[in-house]
Amino acid sequence: MTAVVITGTKDATIPEALKETPDSTPSKRTGLLDLVWTAAARVEGLQWEMDEAEESLAQAMRSAVAAGAGLPDLAIASGMSFADIEQLLAQQLNGLKP
C-alpha cells in the first residue's frame, strides 16, 4: 500500500479536504491515516470472505444440480435470479472471480 502526502499545492484538482492546512499536524494526519489503513484492511478481508462464500454457494449449487435440482429450485433456495445463478456458476466453472 502506498501513502501519498500532499503539501502546499494549489492544484485545483485536489479536493479541499485533502489539502494540507495549518492545523493539520503530522501526528493528526498519521492518526487519521491509521484509520484509513485499518478500514482498507477490513474491506480487503471482507472481500476475501465474500469470495470464499461465493465459492461455497457455487459448490452447493453444483451439488444440488447433480442431485436433480433445477434452476427454479436454486432461485428459490438462494434468493437469486436465474441470470445471477447462471452467471455465478459459469464464472466459477471458468475460474473467474464473480
Q: How many domains does the chain have?
A: 1
Res. 1 pLDDT band, cuts 50 70 90:
very low
Q: Is residue 33 part of a domain?
A: no
Of the candidates 58, 48, 50, the residue with the CA atom closest to the CA atom of residue 92: 58
Mean pLDDT of 17-37: 75
Q: Is residue 64 part of a domain?
A: yes
Q: Is residue 2 part of a domain?
A: no
Q: Is residue 72 part of a domain?
A: yes
Q: What's residue 91's pLDDT?
A: 84
Q: Is residue 67 part of a domain?
A: yes
Q: Is residue 56 part of a domain?
A: yes
Q: Is residue 89 part of a domain?
A: yes
- Segments forming the whole domain that contains residue 54: 48-98
Mean pLDDT of 60-83: 95
Region for residue 30 given its phi and psi (left: phi exceeds 0; alpha: psi -120 to 50; beta: otherwise): alpha
Res. 22 pLDDT band, cuts 50 70 90:
low
Instruction: Look up the pTM and report it.
Output: 0.62
